[in-house]
Amino acid sequence: MNTQSNAVPGYPLDSQARPPAAMFATRPFYWSVRRELWENRSIYLAPLAAAAVFLIGFLISLIGLPHRMRDILALDPSKQRQAIAIHYDIAAGLIMLITLVVAAFYCLDALYGERRDHSILFWKSLPVSDLTTVLAKASIPIVLLQLVAFAVTFALHLTMLLLSSVVLLGSGVSVTTLWTQLALFQMSLVLLYHLVFLHGLWYAPLYSWLLLVSSWARRVPFLWAILPVLAIGIVEKVAFNTSYFGAMLQYRLGGSEDAAMKAAGDFPINPMAHLTPLTFLSSSGLWVGLIFAAGFLYAAARMRRYREPI
């Protein structure tokens, strides 16, 4: 007896079960990023630890907060935000500094470490290209670490604000000035802008250079990342009596603020008004740096293909 098939002619039975090709293309990158998060817990533990240490100190400082707040209310409105926001800015600066340190050490060990412990032999046996692996590792300091720093800092700021409000309300002090002068939402947007644009995109060539050194060095990658830079500067100064290379490095390390923000002082009343994203995205320094970053990452991928375990 012949049974009638439910299959539609021209459509295989497993056509609906097959994921689209785009999913196959992005899946190796996604799991490569997940692997980095699994193997490098300092990516999120270090900012969390810094936030916890700062919060302990802030809790102790809450003892004298009502008295300080009464003094702040007697100041001019232009100086009130400076007095209120200083602890929040210090907290953000601490977490950003920790994030930069974690990013540097992560990049130096990202490709060197897998050659040192011979795990590269296992990872190369998987159907993941060297370029995908290098791009996944580069996404950690350029994107993910900045987002983690923002999330941790925002949670810390919100916790500090709520605790301060509870203490002030318990002491009979108004919290209206605290909330209006602090402008937590605007502060958070400025922080996200600073992390993504400045610490992410602007420093991308620096992270990429460290990844390239990590893929090449046979030992002490930190020295190999620093010594060539010093050698180029010394040779240029001795041979030509110029310091263009040093000026370029200084611009890359400290020129991001000029490209991304107007001069506004340390505690502007409206920090959002001083952001210049269009100027930053159209600056030649940004795109030249990204071109160098792409070249360094491509070279790191090629180096990973041919370098043997240490």
Count of structural domains, the chain: 1
> Residue 247 in contact with residue 285, Cβ under 8 Å?
no
Question: Is 235 within the bounds of a domain?
Answer: yes
* Residues pairing with 261 in the sheet: 275
Domain residues for 212?
Answer: 39-306
The pLDDT tens digits of the residues spanning 207-264 come to 999 999 999 988 889 999 999 889 998 998 888 888 888 888 888 887 666 555 554 4
pTM of the model: 0.83
pLDDT in tens, 68-84: 888 888 787 778 888 88
DSSP state string for 183-229: -HHHHHHHHHHIIIIIIIIITHHHHHHHHHHHHH-SS-HHHHHHHHH
| C-beta of residue 111 within 8 angstroms of C-beta of residue 130 | no
pLDDT band at 13 (very low <50, low <70, confident <90, very high): very low
Answer yes or no: is 6 within a domain: no
> Is residue 191, in this structure, part of any structural domain at all?
yes
DSSP, residue by residue, 29-77: HHHHHHHHHHH-THHHHHHHHHHHHHHHHHHHHGGGHHHHHHHHHTS-H
Q: State the average pLDDT over residues 47-55.
A: 95
Residue 9 belongs to a domain: no
CA distances in angstroms from 86 to 54, 155, 156, 163, 234, listed in the order given: 13, 17, 14, 16, 40
Beta-bridged to residue 275, according to DSSP, are 261
Residue 85 lies in a domain: yes
Does a structural domain hold residue 86? yes
Residue 21 inside a domain? The answer is: no
Q: Report the mean per-residue pLDDT for the chain.
A: 83
Residue 74 · residue 175 · CB < 8 Å: no
Distance CA 135, CA 142 (A): 10
CA 208 from chain center: how many Å?
A: 13
- Average pLDDT score over residue span 29-46: 90
Q: Are 275 and 261 in contact (CB under 8 A)?
A: yes
In a domain, 177, yes or no: yes
